[in-house]
Chain A
Amino acid sequence: MTLDDLDHAILRALSANADQSTTQLAQKMGLSQPATWRRIRRLQDSGVIAGRRLVLDAEKVGFGVTVFLGVKLATKGRVSLEDFERAVGAIPEVQTVDHVLGLYDYRLRVVARDLADFERVLRRRIMTMPGVGDVEANVLLSEERRPGPI
């Protein structure tokens, strides 16, 4: 889908802050409220805006540790990828699962209350998955999301 400058501006504004109302956004863009609404609808309908995400302070709600895990499957071919994906995706502490190509087969983002809690999740839930081989853990220290090329 082709976007013009105003679409880009709307996308930038909403990806920074989706709490603002269409009226507020229209004012910023110098557009009418219905025109802004139509553009947002078009961005949603075409799938460019895939949804809206609440931003919580993970630490303040009790999740002090975030770990990125690289997981290599030990017995490729014998273990079904679908089974692994379904099982790992069902673990509540696992926030994201990406199937990747390279040194690892999967990249997971895992949250835990603290390092002891992370160890429990890793040992009891992740290492016990069928076919899990090498696992590399990197503890998140800081994170920043960038607006991207829009």
Chain B
Amino acid sequence: MLDDLDRRLLRLLQADPARSVPDLADATGLTAARVTRRIDRMRNDRIIQGSHAVINWTALGYAVSVSLRITLDKTVSRAFDDFIAAARAVPEVIEIQTFLGRVDVRLSLIAKDLPDYQRIYREQVLPLPHIADIEALMTVGSVKSDESLPL
């Protein structure tokens, strides 16, 4: 279980994953050895799973970002597995989520521009197996994207 100090360390690391141990020690009033021990423990318990670089796709020329909300044909028993396996093969798909609700699966798709999106949508998305319905939400702007947890 996490105590207040663990949560404090996680908050600091969430804000800046590159923050050094001496810096974290200063901010929490712990010794560097204790900070290291706590962080190591949270890594071993897989509470901290690592970190990854956030890619700005717009800077790489992918100006279009679309959220595809998909309903699957649930009369097919392997619909989810087949669909997800096939969606993984589309390079422009950057997120795959499954849901309980009106939507079964959501794909985050990026494209260079609208003609590129149309091409990917027709040639790679529509042929994905067991689709019953698709709705597209086009992202106009990202208001908040830090994804931090309110620890």
Q: Which residues of A approach B to under 8 Å, CB–CB?
A: 1, 3, 11, 14-19, 46-58, 60-63, 68, 70, 85, 88-89, 92-104, 106-107, 109, 111, 136-150
Contacts and interface: CB of A to CB of B under 8 A. Distances in A.
A100 B99 contact: no
A95 B101 contact: no
A61 B11 CA distance: 11
Contacts of B49: 55-57
Given A53-B52, A95-B146, A103 B47 contact: no
Contact of A96 (B59, B101, B106, B147): B147
Contacts of B55: 11, 15, 48-50, 148, 150
Given A14-B52, A49-B56, A97-B143, A57 B47 contact: yes
Contact of B59 (A18, A46, A55, A57): A46
B137 A104 contact: yes
A49 B60 CA distance: 10
A52 B143 contact: no
Contacts of A3: 60
A149 B99 contact: no
Contacts of A85: 143
B115 interface: no
A41 to B, nearest CB: 13
Q: How large is the interface on B (under 10, 10 to 19, 20 to 34, 35 or more residues)?
A: 35 or more
Interface of B: 2, 7, 10, 13-14, 17-18, 45-57, 59-60, 62, 67, 88, 91-103, 106, 110, 135-151
A52 B97 contact: no
A50 B56 CA distance: 6
Contacts of A15: 52-55
A145 B48 contact: no
Considering the complex of A and B, which 10 residue pairs feature the smallest CB-CB distances, nearest first? A138-B101, A92-B150, A14-B53, A97-B143, A138-B99, A102-B137, A50-B56, A100-B137, A97-B144, A149-B91
B47 A17 contact: no
A101 B140 contact: yes
Contacts of B94: 145-148
A56 B47 contact: yes
Given A57-B47, A60-B45, A111-B150, A48 B56 contact: yes
Nearest to A90: B144
A144 B96 contact: yes
Nearest to A70: B137
B17 A53 contact: yes
A42 B84 CA distance: 35
A40 B93 CA distance: 24
Contacts of A145: 94-95
A140 B106 CA distance: 10
A101 B137 contact: yes
